[in-house]
Structure 1
Amino acid sequence: MTSIFQRALGADFDRLHPQLRRRFGFASDDRTACVGTGVMAEIWRGRAFTLPFLYAGATRNILFPERGRDVPFTIQNFAYRDSHDRETVTFVRTFDLGGVRRRFDATMIYSAARGRVVDYLGTHQHLAVDLDLRVDGQGGLHIRTGSQRFHEGLIGMRLPLALSGTARVHEWYDDDAGCFRIQVDVANSRFGPLFGYRGAFTATYLDTAASPVPDSVRPVRESLRD
């Protein structure tokens, strides 16, 4: 089976660094998972008026208000078929902020209707976000968020970008250091920088026949609407 990132990138997938092709190239029937462990050199947030937004997000594992340096970090990427039989990949990031542990959860699918990867943020898949993917000349992956939708029960609405954040993610492999590097920046077009982090990690690959997808990385609720 083709991974959701291969479907979205098409021929450009082969331009990724080999280590990124491995990390983003598996699907549920490959019985493979990737667990990254490392340190975020810096986690930052915007000005004080962003705090209510960040605290609210923390209740559903979407962003958080703490800042820090040299923060231990893990990311869990498991591929599975969800309750709607969609190929799904988890992106569960955990940050150990000196006694406070925060998570930033996402589950991603490929939407044929939208022609791109859709990122469901948080524990209940309230937010569905389109992702635009691009490969740079060094084989790094750039991700930029686009249209965002809010789903709750029968309510579904598109969120104006002026009321939400645009995220830019750059992940690449550092051959000299033998690790992945990542930089994430989230900003609002009116209010400026909101949240971000940068750091490095190494990856371990698991056989999910021996290490099944843990319930802890799955969302509490799965939304059929993308």
Structure 2
Amino acid sequence: MVSVYRTVLGSSFERLQPELREYFGLHAGSGWFGEGTGVFSRAGCPRRWLRPLLPLVPVANAFFPDYGEDIPFTIRNYPHLDPWGRPALTAVRTFGFPGVQRIFEDTTVLTAPGVLTDYLGRRRNMATDLLLRVSADGHLHMDSPGSRLFLGRLRLPLPRFAGADARVEQWWDPAQQHFRISARVVQRQVGTVFEYDGAFTYAYREFDGVLPAGAEPDRWERRT
């Protein structure tokens, strides 16, 4: 079995920086998960007026009404199979804002040949398409141009005027010997509504393939 990222990128996967190939090469049955620790130069919602509205979004553990600089950060990446046997990677990110910890969690699933769907939140009830690209310098770029909400039996595609695009770039910094990541969620009318940017070190730990309790979502979503 190979990782969901290698599967989708195909031969382009080999153009990633070697450290990124190892990072994104984790797959179900590999016997390992990844754990990163670092500090983000900034993280959260930069629009002060928007922060009180974020708790109204019906997606827990995805967006939060905080913003700060020099925010301690951890990430744990678990490769596994979802309940329907689809190759998946679950990520749990913890942001240490002053006085409060915030969680941003998701599961990236190979939902069809060459198709990645990212399910966000504690109930995995927001889904986005995930498009991958390797740049000439070996960085990985990820874009999420389309989103939909699952509310009970309803599947609600977000209209283009209300939607937002997520843009992520990740790379290895050889001078500093750590990973760097820059993520932006850009809403078409108001600009950046969520972001994080910083650096982290990374290590690989033994993993039996069973998600720990803190990484298991409240529910899984099969729809795309």
Correspondence for 1:222: 220
After TM superposition, give the deviation of residue 91 of structure 1 in Å.
1.6
TM-score by length of 1: 0.93
Where does the alignment leave 5 or more consecutive residues of structure 1 unmatched? none
The answer to whether the 8 Å contact 1:118/1:129 transfers is: yes
Match in the other structure for 2:174? 175
Deviation at 1:46, TM superposition (A): 3.5
Does the aligned pair in 1 maintain the 2:86–2:111 contact within 8 Å? no
Q: CA RMSD in A?
A: 1.7
- Counterpart amino acid of residue 136 in structure 1: S
Structure 2: distance between partners of 1:151 and 1:163:
16
Name the structure 1 match of 2:73. Answer: 73
Specify the code of the residue in structure 2 equivalent to 1:180: F
- Displacement of 1:134 after TM fit? 0.6
Aligned-residue offset at 1:59? 6.3
SS in 1 for 2:54: helix
1:43 Cα deviation (Å)? 1.7
The 5 Å alignment of 1:180-191 reads: 180-191=179-190
In the alignment, what sits opposite 1:96? 96
What's 1:162 paired with? 161
Secondary structure (helix, strand or coil) at the match of 1:30 reads: coil
Question: Matches of 2:213 and 2:189 in 1, distance apart?
Answer: 38
1:138 equivalent in alignment to 2:137: yes
Q: What SS is found at the alignment partner of 1:51? A: helix
The AA in structure 2 aligned to 1:26 is: L
Count, aligned residues: 224
Are residues 46 and 216 of structure 1, via their aligned partners in 2, closer, same or farther at CA, if it must alter by over 3 Å? Answer: same
The corresponding residue for 1:18 is 18
Cα deviation, 1:3-62, whole Å, max 9, x if unaligned, reads 100111111111111111111111111111001100001125243332244223496001
TM-score, structure 2 normalization: 0.94
Q: What percent identity do the matched residue pairs reach?
A: 36
Q: How far has the Cα of 1:219 moved from its partner?
A: 1.2
- Structure 1 residue 84: Cα displacement: 1.5
Matched, 1:203 2:205: no
Aligned 8 A contact 2:54 2:63 in 1: yes
State the Cα deviation string for residues 100-120 of structure 1 (Å, max 9, x = none): 10011111101216x321100
Q: What is the alpha-carbon distance in structure 2 between the residues aligned to residue 90 and residue 201 of structure 1?
A: 18
Letter in 1 for 2:125: H
Match of 2:124, as an amino acid?
Q
Distance 2:178 2:196 in 1: 16
TM-aligned CA deviation for residue 194 of structure 1: 0.5
Greater fraction of residues in helix: 1
Deviations 1:181-219 (A, max 9, x none): 01111111112220111100010101113x953121121
1:112 matched to which residue of 2? 112
Residue 34 of structure 1 is matched in structure 2 by 34
1:64 to partner: Cα distance: 1.1
Q: Tell me the distance in 2 between the aligned counterparts of 1:212 and 1:221.
A: 15
- State the secondary structure of the residue aligned to 1:13: helix
Displacement over 2 Å in runs of 4+: 44-49, 52-59
Q: Which amino acid aligns with 1:38?
A: G
